[in-house]
Structure 1
Amino acid sequence: MIAYEEIKVPVSGGELAALRWPATDPQAPTVVALHGITANALSWAAVARQLAGRVTLIAPDLRGRAGSSGLPGPYGIAAHTDDVAALTEALGLERVVLAGHSMGAFVAALAAVRHPDRFGPLLLVDGGIGFPAPTHLTPDELLTAVIGPAMDRLSMTFTDRAAYRAFWRAHPAFAGAWSDEVDAYIQRDLTGEEPALRSSCRIEAIRADGVGLFGEEVLTAVRKLPVGATLLWAARGLMDEEQGLYDEDRLAAADLGGTRVEPVPMKDVNHYTVLTGERGGREIAGRLVALTH
């Protein structure tokens, strides 16, 4: 895994933690990259390596996760957009390319709508285009239906880091796709002391974000984008199931505004490995380089 810098920038209520992988050329463009709902900045490590110093990549730990777990509420998608805008302002970045994976893609789309002067083109990775929620479900039932296994993890404790590694290695999405980068990413999530290690994700933040994904402002953001955007979608799902979050029929029926939609060329890539895997990371890195030039 290539070296990165830990940085912090002022946001409402404290400081937002972020990782920065510097470009070889100090004058190279910068990309800001946003992670998924229970993830952290190191989920972008494979992409950073594949970028090979061609651009600077900055990935924050979103409010309520990992290095930013101490930030207080209010939580929610809109709060993340303000944090990302504050990050770019603190670092002197203008019209920066913005990428997001899963929930991070929804944050990216809304950030571009709410802060149109701060962001340039968007790359939405297996996220950013939502569908109305079933009306018969309560907010907690809805959240369980969408990210149930991930929510279960937040209330679990682990005796040591090896136990947490074993938990994740048994996840179907990572079968045959484990790496040192994935290991570092999941280990960044842990907090506490043995034998009661736990996820650093604050459950109240995850709940606010999960329910917020179905809010009208979030669902319609992709139709109001002031910049160009591409959705890159994976064929397989969160548990490596054959049905992914998106498919050609669902996307054909959706109102996407001017957003382009393209499947990941590799049919065996799932919701996680589109970002953390070797081939998925290479595909995303290539797209980001193209967007910055």
Structure 2
Amino acid sequence: MNDITPVDADEYTVPVAGGGLAVTRWGDGPGAPVLAVHGITANGHSFARVAAALAVRGGPALHAPDLRGRGVSGGLPGPYGLAVHVDDLLAVLDHLGVERTVLVGHSMGAFVSCLAAVRHPDRIAGLLLVDGGHGLPIPPGTDIDTVLGPAMTRLRMTFASPDDYRAFWRRHPAFAGRWNTWADDHVMRDLTGEAPGLRSSCDETAVRVDGAQVLADEETLGAVHRLPVPARLLWAARGLGDEAPGLYTPERLAGLPASVSALELPDDNHYTPLFSSTAVLVAEQIHTLVQETVQVQGQL
């Protein structure tokens, strides 16, 4: 599973409300850099393998922030919420001097990406959504603990050493038999504090606020139905615990707008498309979307 050579990463900080947003850049290909938006308890390094695959294709650089309340941006204060993430993404584009580009979002990051496109169609040229962005049929009263129970429990746990945290993740049903150096890099970036009290960098309040909006916020859930830009959705056949079916099924995607094309990832669960060999497909989809949007903009 480690058939792609990693590319060098640079780290920089973007001034945002309350402090500095940590961003990782991979690659230096031509064109506007792609902005990658991670999931609710993840960090920007979840896109390292996608960035390496994109570089192999000669694609543009990929920039991935650690969203507010996660990773190296874990200490950024509230208010939280998806609209604040959108503002932070725009700050990154402004910092880079990028007028308009493609976003790729995984899980919650897909919802953030849709909201960014609706609110700022002049800045977002296209979207690649990975197992997220389209609302799910959630029973009334469902909260984030019900949906993300194991992940929420992890945020309150402490670990004696990095190896203990690594072992915790290797036992996770989504990663059992699928562990590799890409997943390891992402997990180690999440770890903060000092032994024996190491813990996840994710701020629980941020996760709760963001998660509530993904589950029930009208503007967030409606964004995918009002997209003013080209969009593609890659959906995993298996769920957060490697169970079948996953978050999406053909029936659940029946309400997806015809303007959003959908492609099943039959060998992946919710977590793995960015870490498995499917990352090559994700990179191909990004590269194709970039080329299509460049052509469209050239015709305007």
State the partner residue of 2:66.
61
- 1:165–1:183 contact (8 Å) kept in structure 2: yes
AA in 2 matched with 1:223: H
Q: Are 2:279 and 1:281 equivalent residues in the alignment?
A: yes
How does 1:1-293 map onto structure 2 within 5 Å?
Answer: 1-23=6-28, 25=29, 27-51=30-54, 52=56, 53-131=58-136, 133-135=138-140, 137=141, 142-213=143-214, 214-252=216-254, 254-256=255-257, 258-264=259-265, 267-278=266-277, 280-293=278-291
- 1:48–1:57 contact (8 Å) kept in structure 2: yes
- 1:177–1:277 contact (8 Å) kept in structure 2: yes
SS at 1:241 equivalent: coil
Structure 1 segments unaligned to the other structure (5+ residues)? none
CA drift of 1:269 comes to: 1.1
- TM-score normalised by length of structure 1: 0.94
How many equivalent residue pairs?
283
Q: Deviations over 1:216-237 (max 9, x none)?
A: 0000000111101111111111
SS at 2:243 equivalent: coil
Structure 2 segments unaligned to the other structure (5+ residues)? 1-5, 292-300
- TM-score normalised by length of structure 2: 0.91
Structure 2 CA distance for aligned equivalents of residues 232 and 255 of structure 1: 12
SS at 2:149 equivalent: helix
AA in 1 matched with 2:46: S
Task: Call closer, same or farther: CA 1:257–1:84 in 2, change over 3 Å.
Answer: farther
AA in 2 matched with 1:30: P
Structure 2 CA distance for aligned equivalents of residues 257 and 217 of structure 1: 19
SS at 2:185 equivalent: helix
- 1:275–1:284 contact (8 Å) kept in structure 2: yes
Structure 1 CA distance for aligned equivalents of residues 161 and 209 of structure 2: 29
AA in 2 matched with 1:273: T
Q: Deviations over 1:237-280 (max 9, x none)?
A: 1111111110101111x25262222212xx221111111112x1
- 2:38–2:107 contact (8 Å) kept in structure 1: yes
Identity %: 53
Q: Deviations over 1:64-91 (max 9, x none)?
A: 0011111110001111111111111111
